[in-house]
Amino acid sequence: MSSDFQFEEELFTSQVNTSTLVRILGAVRPHWKWVAGFMVSIGLVSVLESFFTYLGKRIVDDGIIARNSEALVQTLALYGVLSLFFAALVFSFIYLAGVLGQRVRYDLRKKVFDHLQTLSFSYFDKTPVGWIMSRVTSDTERMADLVTWGMLDVTWAAMNIVFALIFMLTINWRLALVVLVMIPVLLRVALWFKNKILVEYREVRRLNSKITGVYNENITGVRVVKALRREEANRREFDDLAEHMYRRAFRAAWFSALFLPAVQILSALSIGAIIWYGGLQVNTGDMTIGGIQAFIAYITFMLWPVQDLARVYSEMQQAVASAERFFSLLDSKADIVNKPGAISVETMRGDIEFNNVNFFYQPEKPVLKNFNLTVRQGETIALVGPTGGGKSTTVNLICRFYEPKSGAIKINGRDYTDYTLESIHSRLGVVLQTPHLFSGTIRENLRYGRLDATDAEIEEAAKLAGAHEFIMTLEKGYDEQVGESGVLLSTGQKQLISLARAVLAKPDIFIMDEATSSVDTLTEALIQQGMEILMKRSTSFIIAHRLSTIRRADRILVIENGGISEMGSHSELMRQKGHYFNLYMQQFREELETQYDPFATGEHRAVTPKDQWVPGQVTAAGD
Amino acid sequence: MLPPKQTYTYDVRNSLSKNMVRGFWRMMTGFRLYYLVAVVALALSALMNTSSFLLVRHFIDNVLPSPNVMQIAPLIALGFAVLAGLQGTFSALSGRFTAKTAEGLALRLRDAMYDHIQRLSFRYHDKMPTGELLSRATSDLDAIRRFFSEQAIGVGRILLLFSINFVAILLLNPDLAVKSIVAVPVVALVSFLFFGRIARAYEHLQEQEAKLSTTLQENLSGVRVVKAFARQDYERDKFEVENAEQFRRGRRFLIMHSAFWPLTDIICFAQILFGYYYAATLVMNGTLTLGSYLAYAALLTQIINPMRNLGRLIVDMSSGVVSYKRMMQVIGTEQESLVAGNFQPAADLRGDVEFKQVSFEYDAEAPVLHDINLTVKAGQSVALMGSTGSGKTSLVGLLPRFYDYTAGSIKLDGVELKDMPRGYLRQQIGIVEQEPFLFSRTIRENIAFSVGREVSDDEVIAAAKAAAVHDVILTFPDGYNTLVGERGVTLSGGQKQRVALARTLLKNPRILILDDATSSVDSETEDTIRQALLKLMKGRTTFIIAHRIQTVMHANQILVFDKGRIVQRGTHSELMDEPGIYRRIYDLQSRIEDEVEREVADVIGLPV
pLDDT at A614: 29
**Which range in A575-579, B173-177, B512-516 is most confidently predicted, on average pLDDT?**
B173-177
Shortest CA gap A351–chain B (Å): 20
Q: One-letter amino acid identity for B488?
A: G
pLDDT value of position A607:
32
**DSSP-assigned letters across all residues of B248-275:** HHHHHHHHHHHHHHHHHHHHHHHHHHHH
Q: How far apart are CA B206 and CA B558, in angstroms?
A: 57
Contact B84 A103 (CB under 8 A): no
**A426: nearest CB among B214, B223, B230:** B230
| pLDDT at residue A602 in the model | 38
For residue A528, give how far its alpha carbon lies from the nearest alpha carbon of chain B (Å): 21
Residue A598's closest chain B neighbor by CA?
B585
For B554-579, what is the mean pLDDT?
A: 91
The per-residue pLDDT for range A387-415, each reduced to its tens digit, is 777 888 899 999 999 999 999 999 999 99
- The pLDDT score that the predictor gives to residue B541 is 94
B558 vs A485, more confident:
B558
| Structure confidence at residue A16 (pLDDT) | 59
What are the tens digits of pLDDT across the range A414-451? Answer: 999 999 998 898 898 888 887 888 989 999 999 998 99
Looking at residue A232, its pLDDT comes to: 86
What is the residue-averaged pLDDT of chain A?
A: 85
Q: Is the dihedral of CA A94, A96, A101, A106 positive or negative?
A: positive
DSSP codes of every residue in B479-515: GGGPBBSTTSBPPPHHHHHHHHHHHHHHH--SEEEEE
Coil/strand/helix, residue B570 = strand
3-state secondary structure A390-410: CHHHHHHHHCCCCCCCEEEEE
Q: Does A606 reach chain B within 8 Å, measured CB to CB?
A: no
For residue A19, give how far its alpha carbon lies from the nearest alpha carbon of chain B (Å). 28
| Contact A70/B at CB under 8 A | no
* pLDDT tens, residue by residue, A175-193: 888 888 888 888 888 888 8
pLDDT reported for residue A610: 29
The whole-number pLDDT of residue A603 equals 38
pLDDT score, position A136: 92
User: In this complex, is the C-beta atom of A8 within 8 Å of any C-beta atom belonging to chain B?
Assistant: no
Does A585 contact B at CB distance below 8 Å? Answer: yes
Percent of residues, chain A, with pLDDT higher than 70: 92
Nearest CA in chain B to A260: B88
What whole-number distance in Å separates Cα of residue B435 and Cα of residue A220? 13
Q: B483-492 burial string, b = 16+ CB within 10 Å, else e?
A: bbeeebbebe
- Higher-pLDDT residue of B381, A128: B381
pLDDT surpasses 50 at A289: yes
Q: Give tens-digit pLDDT for A204-218.
A: 888 988 898 889 888
Q: Which of A506-510, B109-113, B130-134 has the lowest mean pLDDT?
A: B130-134
Question: A273: which chain B residues are within 8 Å (Cβ-Cβ)?
Answer: 77
Mean pLDDT in residue range A588-610: 55
Q: Name every chain B residue with its beta carbon within 8 A of the beta carbon of A88.
A: 262
Q: What is the pLDDT of residues A28-56, one digit of tens each?
A: 999 999 999 999 999 999 999 989 999 99
- pLDDT for residue B80: 84
What DSSP element (H or E) covers A105?
A: helix A69-118
Of B386, B439, B604, the CB nearest to A221: B439
More confident residue, B356 or A603: B356
* Chain B, nearest residue to A221 by Cα: B437
Report pLDDT for A597: 64
The predicted structure's pLDDT at residue B230: 86
Chain B residues whose CB is inside 8 A of the A593 CB are 592
pLDDT at B488: 67
Q: Is some CB atom of chain B closer than 8 A to the CB atom of A152?
A: no
ipTM, two decimals, is 0.83
Q: Out of A72, A498, A511, whose CB is closest to B280?
A: A72
> Is A60 in contact with B235 (Cβ distance < 8 A)?
no
**Per-residue confidence band for B393, with pLDDT thresholds at 50, 70 and 90:** confident
Closest chain A C-alpha to B512 CA, distance in angstroms = 12
Residue of B552, B608, B596, B600 lying closest to B576 (CA atoms): B552
Highest mean pLDDT among A80-89, B118-127, B129-138, B510-519: A80-89
pLDDT digits (tens, 9 = 90+) for B150-196: 998 999 999 999 999 999 999 999 999 999 999 888 988 898 888 88
Summarize the confidence of residues A73-79 as an average pLDDT.
95
Within 10 A of B298 (CB to CB), how many other CB atoms are there? 22
| Out of A65, A279, A426, closest to residue B73 by CB | A279
Residue in A561, A562, A544 with CA at minimum distance from that of residue A553:
A544
Whether the Cβ atoms of residue A60 and residue A293 lie closer than 8 Å to each other:
yes
Chain B residues with CB-CB distance to A615 below 8 A: 220-221, 223-224
Could you tell me if A67 lies within 8 Å of chain B, comparing CB atoms?
yes
The pLDDT of residue A601 is 44
Give B-chain residues touching A84 at CB under 8 angstroms: 266
Residue among B218, B278, B491, B559 with most chain A CBs within 10 A, to mutate: B218
What is the pLDDT, as a whole number, of residue A310?
A: 66
* CB contact (8 A) between residue A217 and residue B223: no
Helix axes A289-331, A173-220, angle to 10 degrees: 40
pLDDT for B179 equals 92
Please judge whether A87 and B262 are an interchain contact, meaning their C-beta atoms are less than 8 angstroms apart.
Answer: yes
Vertex B554 angle, CA B551 and B557, to 5°: 105
> Is A416 an interface residue toward B (CB < 8 Å)?
no
| Rounded Cα gap, residues B304 and B386, in angstroms | 76
Q: Does A182 touch chain B (CB under 8 A)?
A: no
How near does any CA of chain A get to the CA of B230, in Å? 5
- Of A345-354, B125-134, B554-563, least confident by mean pLDDT is B125-134
Q: Are B288 and B176 in contact (CB under 8 A)?
A: yes
B608 contact residues in A (CB cutoff 8 A) = 571-572
Cβ contact B88–A224 (<8 Å):
no
In the stretch 502-531 of chain A, residues with CB closer than 8 A to chain B read: 505, 511
Q: What is the pLDDT of residues A93-134, one digit of tens each?
A: 999 999 999 999 999 999 999 999 999 888 888 888 888 998
Which residues are CB-neighbours of B520 under 8 A, at least 6 positions away?
Answer: B434, B435, B493, B494, B497
Q: Rounded distance, CA A399 to CA B73, Å?
A: 88
User: Angle at which helices A69-118 and A32-58 pack, to 10 degrees?
Assistant: 160
The confidence band for A615, taking pLDDT boundaries of 50, 70 and 90, is very low
* Closest by Cα among B144, B139, B134, B140 to B101: B144
Binary contact (A95, B225; C-beta < 8 A): no
Share of chain A above pLDDT 90, in %: 35
- Largest distance between two CA atoms of chain B: 130
Question: What pLDDT shows up at residue A509?
Answer: 93
Whether the pLDDT of residue A14 is over 60: the answer is: no
- Of the pLDDT bands very low, low, confident and very high (cuts 50, 70, 90), residue B433 is confident
Give contacts of A 420-479 with B, CB under 8 A: 421-422, 425-426, 428-430, 432, 436, 438-439, 448-449, 451
Contact A227 B246 (CB under 8 A): no
**Nearest residue on chain A to B95, alpha-carbon basis:** A257
Provide the pairing of β-strand A555-560 with A406-411.
unpaired
- Residue B487 has a pLDDT of 63
A9 reaches B (C-beta below 8 A): no
Partners of A86 on chain B (C-beta within 8 Å) are: 265, 269
The answer, for A60 touching chain B at a CB cutoff of 8 Å, is yes
> Which of A2, A91, A234, A437 to mutate against chain B (most B CBs within 10 Å)?
A91
How would residue B97 be classed by pLDDT, with cut points 50, 70 and 90? very high
Pick from B221, B516, B520, B524 the residue to mutate for testing the A interface (most A CBs within 10 Å).
B221
When CB atoms are compared, the residue of B276, B562, B595 closest to A76 is: B276
Asked if the Cβ–Cβ distance from B118 to A137 is below 8 Å, we say no
Q: Is the distance from CB of A179 to CB of A355 less than 8 angstroms?
A: no
Q: Quote the percentage of chain B above a pLDDT of 70.
A: 97
Chain B residues close to A574, C-beta within 8 Å: 603, 606
CA gap B433, B416 in Å, rounded? 26
What is the mean predicted confidence (pLDDT) over B284-298? 91
Contacts with B483 from chain A: Cβ below 8 Å: none
User: SS3 sequence, B297-329?
Assistant: HHHHHHHHCCHHHHHHHHHHHHHHHHHHHHHHH
Distance between CA atoms of B491 and B499, rounded to whole angstroms? Answer: 9
Q: Which residue has the higher pLDDT, A607 or A102?
A: A102
Question: Under an 8 A CB cutoff, do B389 and A603 touch?
Answer: yes
